Amino acid sequence: MAGLMAGYGHYTHAVVRGIPASLAKEALRSSQTEVDLAKAVKEHEAYVEVLRTRLGLEVVELPADESLPDCVFVEDAAVVCGDTALITRPGAESRRGETEAMKGALKDLNLNIVEMTDENATLDGGDVLFTGREFFVGLSKRTNQRGAEILADAFKDYAVSTVPVLDGLHLKSFCSMGGPGLIVIGSSEPAQKALKVFEKLKDHMLIPVSNLEKVKVDGALTCCSVLINKKANI
């Protein structure tokens, strides 16, 4: 098995995107809870501010696009590992247009762009968990086997395993990386459980960020930024 990727968990840049007004009524969602748009915008601004000032990342902010109600969830449009960016083919047709602006931003950051053009492939970044040693790709409503194969081809240095996602939207709807070598997996009380694990990691800070509105349209925190480590590319 490959060792832990150099610089794993360290980032210099984040790509984010604004919230279009169309999110409130038109974003894809599994429940019908009403979204407070103003609150969602405020929460998102606070989130971006944490990336910029608390985490010290250089933030590239893409403008919202009203014709793309889910465009704030940038994680689904690209998978970045080292100096390679895989531009995905999102599973939901209404989200396919989101990749264009993301591709431009990642090109401007001088990453090597690989595009998923195969019409039989679908993949959302929310289904991709990178541990620093290997990839796990959730096979879900949004991501299929062909998508996972193309990801494996794009990141040949790493093993890729698929995981069936039987419930929920994405693989990372119920798990995420808690730190190098630590996968945090939710249960019936996912947030509380994750919190307990994080509290054990002495070197990690806890920065509370509210996400009450975007979660109503199935958006989690990781889905609102694409993180990049440019130092690893020099």
Report if residue 74 touches ligand CIR, rule: CB under 6 A.
Answer: no
Token readout for 39 is 């609150």
Pairing of strands 84-87, 112-115: parallel
- Candidates 8, 24, 41, 70: give the one binding ligand CIR (CB under 6 A): 70
**Does 218 contact ligand CIR by CB under 6 A?**
yes
Is 170 labeled as catalytic in the residue annotation? yes
Give the active site residue among 71, 81, 175, 223: 223
Task: Kindly name the residue from 170, 175, 204, 224 that is annotated as catalytic.
Answer: 170
The C-alpha atoms of residue 72 and residue 64 are separated, in whole angstroms, by 7
* Pick from 229, 216, 214, 233: nearest CA to 17: 214
Least distance (Å) from ligand CIR to the CB of residue 169? Answer: 6
CB 132 within 8 A of CB 122: no
At its nearest, how many Å lie between ligand CIR and the CB of residue 6?
Answer: 26
Q: Is 43 in the site for ligand CIR (CB under 6 A)?
A: no
Q: Is 10 a catalytic residue?
A: no
Nearer to ligand CIR, 43 or 218 (CB): 218
State the DSSP string of 50-86: IIIIIS-PEEEEEPP-TT-TTTT-GGGGEEEETTEEE
Report the SS3 class of residue 226: strand
Stated as kind and residue range, the H or E segment containing 176 is strand 175-179
Shortest Cβ contact with ligand CIR: which residue? 126
x/- string (CB under 6 A) for ligand CIR, residues 153-172? ----------------xx--
Whether 174 contacts 100, CB under 8 Å: no
Q: Minimum Å distance from CB 202 to ligand CIR? A: 28
Catalytic residue numbers read: 170, 223
Residues that bind ligand CIR (CB under 6 A): 27-29, 70, 73, 75-76, 92, 95, 125-126, 169-170, 217-220, 223
